[in-house]
Amino acid sequence: MEPSDPFFSNDTFAQEAGIELMEVGEGRAAVKMAITDRHRNGHGTVHGGAIFTLADTAFALASNSHGVPAAAINAHVSYVKSATSGTLFAQAEEFSINPKIATYIVRVTDENGENIAIFQGMVYRKTPRPHSV
């Protein structure tokens, strides 16, 4: 049985990109994407935008896993190796968190565990307002 997450279920862009949820927990998430022709650029390698989208999806899931809405305010990716086929995986892990800001590191690997990219993202966490009595 595949894991489910309401936040991921509403992410139609990630689903259109062929991204699948593997797991999500407090401050962490893992997703995967089987490479198809739609993911390739003019060089025949996986498009940087596809890799970014995969990493960004894991980042979004991890940062919104605490039940507090979180919106990206910064993201950076470094591509370290090209990929042409197979499946790519992205694992997001919380690096730091406070009531307003949180940072995450996402590692993108291929099916052999080779590093493809490293992604760092920061979110603004919307402070929940106390309920009036």
**What is the DSSP annotation of 78-97?**
EE-S---SSEEEEEEEEEEE
Give SS3 for 9: helix
Round to whole Å and give the CA distance between 104 and 62: 8
Residue 2 banded pLDDT, cuts 50, 70, 90: low
* Better-scored residue on pLDDT, 25 or 2: 25
Whether the predicted model's global pTM rises above the 0.85 cut: yes
- Domain boundaries defined on the chain: 6-125
Residue 103, amino acid: T
Round to whole Å and give the CA distance between 83 and 46: 6
pLDDT at residue 131 in the model: 62
pLDDT of 74 > 80? The answer is yes
Q: Is residue 112 packed enough to be buried (19+ CB in 10 Å), middle (13-18) or exposed (0-12)?
A: exposed
pLDDT of 110 > 90? The answer is yes
- At the top level of CATH, the class of 6-125 is alpha beta
Round to whole Å and give the CA distance between 42 and 32: 23
